[in-house]
Amino acid sequence: MRQILIFSRCCLLMCCVFAPSVTRAQQIAANHSPSPASGHVAPSPQRSASADFDRPARNGSDRPASAGFDRPASSGSDRLAPEIKMLTTGPKISIRGLSAVDDKIVWVSGTKGTVGRSTDGGNTWTWMRVPGYDKRDFRDIEAFDARTAIIIAIDTPAHILKTIDGGKNWKLVYQNDTPGMFLDAMEFWNSQSGIVVGDPIDGRFFIARSFDGGDSWHEIPRQELPIADSGEGCFATSGTNIRALDRQSVCFVSGGPHSRIFIRDKTIDLPIIQGATTTGANSVAVKDHHTLHGGQHLIVTGGDFTHDTDTTKNCFLSNDGGHTWIAPTQPPHGYRGCVEYIGGHNVLCCGTSGVDLSTDDGMTWSLLTTTGFHVCRQAKKGKTVFLAGASGRIARLIL
């Protein structure tokens, strides 16, 4: 799950949800999580040997007839309760990659070399299998419009592919045959500048950058890569273990025996459950990433994916850029492999045991459904929130 990069030493905040040194079978398995204890936790920051990573280069309906989950009226009013509305149960694949360009254009990716695209808000889908990749797993996807998208084939050899014709043809833009290479997730600040993170190789996390819309990728020199502890890695759960921190930097989170968040030139221990290869942070969300000096308001979720209804230390919040962490008073109801700010004070998280919604910036969580989903993402240029998961399930949140 993990090419040479010319970059200025600006600040790149990275929160790391790395798939630990687990067996490949464990990494492909679904995740489960525990719940946090209340109170403030002040982690012990450590200076990382890794270099500061840089800011991006400047550069510029109708609902389907398919049934949804029950949507009772909220008590005491005529307002309907939030609902997870099923859109499709497409090919019988596991979907972990999801990118919504706007309220209409949505792309997904998953197992068996499969990619899906909708141009009508998820009501209808076009499914494609990338030639020669029918046994590969596309764990993350980044879409820019109805014709342009990038996918990562995670395992050795690690491949990144790009289409500019709506998925009719895919071009290999990066390949890495290093034994043990495993790419976890991508993040793009804009249509030109992106970053990909992967599991540690010889004790250091893998990171590569693109400055041309994903047409080429440049590996960060080894001596500038973050050092990983023994067994520490990223979980390729939902493509959200690395996120834009602000307009200049990113953050990523790790898990396993040691779970940390990587922020510029330092690392911070997370109070989330850890110690085993199946535990730790899986996802991070940043509320103020659109601002120039953002990255103050963070939420990290995860847990133990082998015990996906356990709520032990599965979610933590920070309002000071990761210096201190707070446990929710009511945590999500189990392991959660993806978390997403969705506007206002609303936050959504999902995992193999269900979906939770918070309306107070993550302090209290309500269970919406016990149907599992791997990933939830809000449209980049819109308000619609989509979810995807096992058995080709794709849905949207209705508030």
**Domains of the chain with bracketed CATH:** 13-52+99-398 (2.130.10.10)
Bond prior to 157 in cis (omega within 30° of 0): yes
Angle at 137 between CA 132 and CA 298, to 5 degrees: 145
Strand partners, 357: 348, 366
Query: Which whole-number Å values give the CA distances from 390 to 97, 141, 142, 280, 308, in the listed order?
Result: 11, 16, 19, 21, 15
Taking alpha carbons only, the member of 76, 121, 163 closest to residue 385 is 121
Bond prior to 328 in cis (omega within 30° of 0): no
Task: Find the length of the chain.
Answer: 399
How many CA atoms are closer than 13 Å to the CA of 234, on its beta-carbon side? Answer: 42
- In 10 A of CB 364, how many CB atoms? 14
Sign of the CA dihedral running 158, 160, 166, 170: negative
Mean pLDDT of the chain: 85
Q: Using pLDDT thresholds of 50, 70 and 90, give the confidence band for residue 90.
A: confident
- For 140, the token pair is 């993350």
Q: Tell me: the pLDDT tens digits for 220-273?
A: 999 999 999 999 999 999 999 999 998 889 999 999 999 999 987 889 999 999
Percent over 90 (pLDDT), the chain: 75
φ, ψ for residue 220, nearest 5 deg? -70, 135
Strand partners, 100: 106
78: CB partners within 8 A, 6+ apart: none
Taking alpha carbons only, the member of 223, 156, 145, 142 closest to residue 189 is 142
φ, ψ for residue 385, nearest 5 deg? -110, 125
Sheet of strand 393-398, all strands in order from the earlier edge strand to the far edge = 83-89, 393-398, 385-388, 375-378
For residues 149 and 134, give the distance between their C-alpha atoms in angstroms, rounded to a whole number. 18
Q: What is the mean pLDDT of residues 143-149?
A: 98
The mean-pLDDT minimum among 50-54, 274-278, 371-375 falls in 50-54
- For 103, the token pair is 């309220």
Write down the pLDDT at residue 79.
62
Residue bearing the bigger pLDDT, 44 or 95: 95
The mean-pLDDT minimum among 26-40, 129-143, 183-197 falls in 26-40
For residues 390 and 399, give the distance between their C-alpha atoms in angstroms, rounded to a whole number. 23
